[in-house]
Amino acid sequence: MNTSTELALVTNANAARQGIGAFNVVLLEHAEAIVAGAESAGKPVILQISQNAARYHGALEPIATASLAIARAAGVPAIVHLDHAEDLELVYSAVELGVQSVMFDGSTLDYEENVATTRKVVEFCHAHGVFVEAELGEVGGKDGVHAPGARSHPDEVAAFVSATGVDALAVAVGTSHAMTTRVATVDRELIKELAESAGVPLVLHGSSGLSDDELLGAVRSGMTKINISTHLNGLFTSAARLALNADASLIDPRRYIAPARAAMATEVDRLLCMLAP
């Protein structure tokens, strides 16, 4: 799948005021669950691998290679995306491995350096048919620009997109990373303004903290790519813990990971159907 294919998926969803779910892969079973849920829903999906997940596995290649294989075998369009990459060498490695989409995280850089480096990433990735997402401000921090009170400015968003040529942009509208409760709210009027000014599809980070109603409100207001990780990890872990608590003699990890994978797949199915009815 190349840039034009992913761009068509994202652009079509945006035009229809629908969302595309982007779910994080931490373990092999996450990738399997995400694709199983997408196939059940009959919807396209994005499998995200963060820089932290690559570090956990010792390198990007093991988890990316497995995720790409699972995505290729999927019965629905499935894109593998490198998320929150701060290291340019990791971006280059991802493209070499065949990842179809990357997010460059220049949040710790000053504005001019962020623009220059993001533009460099865009030029490299587009030359290799790879879709690029970026961010304006400290989106990458667990409580940076995505603290509930932080907001992106429409004029700054328009200037950043124009200067970098990115395909999609993560913006701050009221969510926060790593929330374990679904109590956050989004600024729907701001989303509408940002969607109009950006001219490219918008990405919502920290979506685990939003209720179904808030997720739908964000999509209907103009959000397209919806990143969800913590919420699914909670369901995965709860199902594994339930299986372990039910049988103290369990030692085969397949016996408790399988129900965790199934629980995650079921929620992926539900979320995708809700985001793109």
Q: Which token pair is 237?
A: 């872990």
The response to whether 30 counts as a known ligand-binding position is no
User: Can you name the residues that pair with 168 across neighbouring β-strands?
Assistant: 133
- The H or E element that residue 169 is part of is strand 168-170
The answer on whether 177 is annotated among ligand-binding residues is yes
Among this protein's residues, is 83 annotated catalytic?
Answer: yes
According to the annotation, is 126 in a ligand binding site? no
- Cα–Cα distance measured from residue 26 to residue 253, given in angstroms and rounded to the nearest whole number: 16
Q: Does residue 57 have a known ligand-binding role?
A: no
DSSP 99: -
Residue 192: count other Cβ atoms within 10 Å of its Cβ: 14
Instruction: Looking at the chain, list the stretches that DSSP marks H as alpha helix, in order from N- to C-terminal side.
Output: 3-15, 28-41, 51-56, 60-72, 88-97, 111-127, 154-164, 188-198, 212-221, 230-246, 253-275
Is 84 labelled a binding residue? yes
84: region left, alpha or beta (phi > 0 left; psi from -120 to 50 alpha): left
Lookup result for tokens 């994080």: 24
State the amino acid at position 217 in one-letter form. Answer: G
Alpha-carbon gap, residue 13 to 27, rounded angstroms: 28
Name the active-site residue from 83, 167, 187, 269: 83
Q: Which residues are catalytically annotated?
A: 83
Q: Please enumerate, by residue number, every residue annotated as part of a binding site for Zn(2+).
A: 84, 105, 135, 177, 205
- Binding site: which residues? 84, 105, 135, 177, 205
